[in-house]
Structure 1
Amino acid sequence: MIRSRSSAAGKGDPEFTEADLPGLRGRGFALLILATAAGLCGFAAVLPLVPLWASRGGAGEFGAGATTAAFMLTTVITQLAMPWLLDHAGGYRWAFPVGSLIMGLPMPLFALTTDLGPLVAVSAVRGVGFGMVTVAGTALAARLVAKEQVGRATGYYGLAVGLPQIVILPGGVALALSIGFDTAFWLTGICGVLAAALASGIWFADGGRNRAALRGAGPEAGKGTAEAPSAPRGLPLLSALAAPLIIMLVVSSAASAVVTFLAIPFEQAAWLVSALLAAYALMLVTGRWTAGVLYDRYRRTVLLLPGTLAAVAGTGLLTAGLWANGDGSPGAGVALLVLGGTALFGLGFGAVQNEAVTVMLERAGPTGYGRASAWWNIGYDAGTGAGAIGLGLVIQLMGYGPAFAIVAVSLAAVLPLALRRK
């Protein structure tokens, strides 16, 4: 991954290779995982919480989805600039801590009002921080280890993103409904500050052996050497990443529908909302970790097609449950359908996430990890924003059952891309 001074170490540093990296067992990688887990607690809590808060202020489903869409819009805009910042402005060192602060510090402002305008504005500011954290975190997970560990590294990173969601996704809603939204907003804001402190320590961990990796690729990266061929850029890179990028866009749009809107039709059954979000988060990390381990073992994707199929089937079950529920309280049959559908979708989405990111990292090459991370995160977050705003409008016009049926058909349409291996 890091082969020479010109690609990472910087002028005046000793010669540096992958063998010098502490890898999965290093304190730097451990700090990255802890910082990710802490910082993403705020993201996980807010994703269903702010739309629910907005709907209580009379915003409606479209307005509730607009809070998520604004967050994801500024996220994607930030992510477009991140590859250059990582490689030319020392961004690997500061992007994660600064982004965590931008995510966490504005959180208490949500408690001041339920008016849609301020909620959208605060969400947009936080999206800048999230864009910084996601691109830097994904790229660092690959840069801090040798290429033989990239699958497991991204799997561990996925666990750090997903495991807190098992508690935070349902717990944030339950906490807000039981003891107040303002308490939930303050607690998740503190998580961002803690993440910034942890991420700052990566530079100093492992006796400074991570510093070359954190300096970035440098201005000569991507031009190629005898040891590392040049990485694709521009249109060749987009062509290489197109299939996994499209899959991520569509599947993350479906995930946005699950996380953003399922709390609203089942709000009267708080136990079911908590169970749905917990099942989704648990199966998400299970699918992502399994895909990472299998990728390292076989050195190729194994679960991209099965994961996409699971997402299609899970969305189909959700559609059936929502259609059967109507406007009434969910019965046992509806609860089983939506629980099974949410769990199956989460398992498939987790597998697709890790398969897509490992394929994109491999195709971009070591000096292109920042670009691959940016495009993967853009696929994830642009899909999430589009799903929130688009499905919010469709739900208002047609209802939950027809809206989720459209999601299922969209997922089925990308199955041919998952079949392609080259």
Structure 2
Amino acid sequence: MRRTTRKCETYARGVVSTSTPAGITGGPFRFMLGATVLCFSGYALLLPVVPLWAERGGSGALGSGATTAMLMATTVATQLAVPWLLVRIGHRWVLAAGSVLLGAPAPFLALSADLAPVLALSALRGIGFGLATVAGSALVAELVPRAQHGRAAGRYGLAVGVPQLVLLAVGVAAVERFGFTAVFVVAGVVPVLGALLVPAIRMPGAPAATLTRPRPRPATRSALAPVVAMVTCSIAQGGLITFLPLAVPDAGLLVPGALLATAAGALFGRLAAGELVDRRGWGGRLLVPGMLLAAAGMGAEVAGGGALVVIGAVAVGFGFGLVQNDSLTVLFAAFGSSGYGAASALWNIAYDAGTGVGALGLGAVAEPFGYPAAFGVAAVVLCAGVALTWIKPRQPAR
């Protein structure tokens, strides 16, 4: 009788769960990280190589830039539909399909350097990247308990960031040594290998019985702060990565060192934020410090020269790393367990759209007024984001 009563009480709360997530030390989460590393390796390897391939084909600077623009445009457009797909076909199928679509078209780039086929293949790869990014970050929340979301997001940041840290520079060097075709083949095979890991990502058991299906929470106001923080920081970092080599020409190893520093800073920022969110309960409190740190870094780039270039790049990267992790955990909390897919899509769209706006918008400022002016505008945008975030209510992640 007592057992029956307990069961009825559980049914009345609306959910009977057959299992709980294994956590950040569990096999499913680790296999997801492995698939993410392989997927982003294919993405990072070709990011600087495809524009170079288009330029070798006679497309010029505009055509070369259009290849990246096409990749990111289809990425963002796809991300809008991924929450719907996650519900209907599942996280694992979406991640696997994204990895295959990102990798499989890559070897076909070797067939022609003409702009039209390169753009078409870039668009197809962007669809795959959009599927994989949203499914991957949604799995961060699905595969671990909520108390581990911060650290899980930090480890996911490593899986995303380390391939970019290593392979963005390696891709161009590999082309010079081994040729375009070899690089295209490797960049195609690696994400497909990542898809082969997906069957090992076992999802937590679905509810055994429900009386009422949970509805996604209305998260418009509580989602504003993390989205503003993500967009403004990605505008700054997108502009920094795009224009720093042009702003500091003939600087030897200074610019590569600064770009490496901003990528490494972002990795350490994400790890630090994960620990602070989970162990100190600082969810939602790192957005403003992260934006202020990034604004200070862009201010250092305005002053320019020598060590300030590297120091500013580190500050931008570390500040953005804090914001990336904290904003993702805040969005997971704001949307609730039934809306992890929507939270992931919103986070990724803010990241990718902000990067594109940074490259295009700050370029429009730099053309007539110079690169220091563009970096200064980015700093002002970050300060405006701080003001907007500060006056709006913030919902902490825990």
TM-score relative to the length of structure 2:
0.85
Structure 2, unmatched stretches of 5+, are 1-9
Instruction: Classify 1:304/1:246 alpha carbon distance in 2 versus 1 (closer, same or farther; 3 Å).
Output: closer
8 Å CA contact 1:52–1:264 kept in 2: the answer is: no
**Which residues of 2 match residues 195-206 of structure 1 at below 5 A?**
195-203=194-202
Identity of aligned residues (%): 45
8 Å CA contact 1:48–1:261 kept in 2: the answer is: no
CA deviations on 1:333-355 (whole Å, 9 max, x unpaired) are 44x33222222211111111001
> Is 2:298 the partner of 1:305?
no
**Which residues of 2 match residues 333-412 of structure 1 at below 5 A?**
333-334=305-306, 336-412=307-383
**Which residues of 2 match residues 7-406 of structure 1 at below 5 A?**
15-18=17-20, 21-54=21-54, 62-87=62-87, 89-203=88-202, 210=203, 212=205, 223-224=213-214, 230-232=215-217, 236-263=218-245, 271-299=253-281, 300-321=283-304, 333-334=305-306, 336-406=307-377
8 Å CA contact 2:224–2:389 kept in 1: the answer is: no
8 Å CA contact 2:14–2:212 kept in 1: the answer is: no
Q: Which moved more, 1:149-158 or 1:58-67?
A: 58-67
* C-alpha distance in 1 between matches for 2:337 and 2:256: 40
8 Å CA contact 1:257–1:387 kept in 2: the answer is: yes
8 Å CA contact 2:286–2:322 kept in 1: the answer is: yes
**CA-CA distance at 1:271 after TM superposition:** 3.8
* C-alpha distance in 2 between matches for 1:132 and 1:221: 32
Instruction: Classify 1:152/1:367 alpha carbon distance in 2 versus 1 (closer, same or farther; 3 Å).
Output: same
Amino acid at match of 2:275: V
8 Å CA contact 1:51–1:64 kept in 2: the answer is: yes
Amino acid at match of 1:158: G
Instruction: Classify 1:175/1:316 alpha carbon distance in 2 versus 1 (closer, same or farther; 3 Å).
Output: farther
Q: Report the secondary structure of 2:100's partner residue.
A: helix
Structure 1, unmatched stretches of 5+, are 204-209, 225-229, 322-332
**CA-CA distance at 1:59 after TM superposition:** 5.2
* C-alpha distance in 2 between matches for 1:401 and 1:134: 33
Q: Across the two proteins, how many residue pairs are aligned to each other? A: 383
**CA-CA distance at 1:389 after TM superposition:** 3.4
**CA-CA distance at 1:244 after TM superposition:** 1.2
Amino acid at match of 2:299: G
8 Å CA contact 2:268–2:321 kept in 1: the answer is: yes
CA deviations on 1:16-44 (whole Å, 9 max, x unpaired) are 243xx221111111100111111111222
CA deviations on 1:215-269 (whole Å, 9 max, x unpaired) are xx99x89943xxxxx431xxx3333312211221222122222334445566866
Q: Which moved more, 1:395-404 or 1:188-197?
A: 395-404
Q: Report the secondary structure of 2:284's partner residue.
A: coil
**CA-CA distance at 1:375 after TM superposition:** 0.7
TM-score relative to the length of structure 1:
0.80
8 Å CA contact 2:48–2:172 kept in 1: the answer is: yes
Amino acid at match of 2:349: I
Q: Which moved more, 1:403-412 or 1:21-30?
A: 403-412
CA deviations on 1:125-164 (whole Å, 9 max, x unpaired) are 1111111111111111111111111111111111111122
Q: Which moved more, 1:269-278 or 1:55-64?
A: 55-64
8 Å CA contact 1:107–1:188 kept in 2: the answer is: yes
8 Å CA contact 1:47–1:259 kept in 2: the answer is: no
* C-alpha distance in 1 between matches for 2:14 and 2:103: 30
**CA-CA distance at 1:119 after TM superposition:** 3.2
8 Å CA contact 1:61–1:393 kept in 2: the answer is: no
Instruction: Classify 1:67/1:338 alpha carbon distance in 2 versus 1 (closer, same or farther; 3 Å).
Output: farther
* C-alpha distance in 1 between matches for 2:174 and 2:120: 24
Amino acid at match of 1:372: A
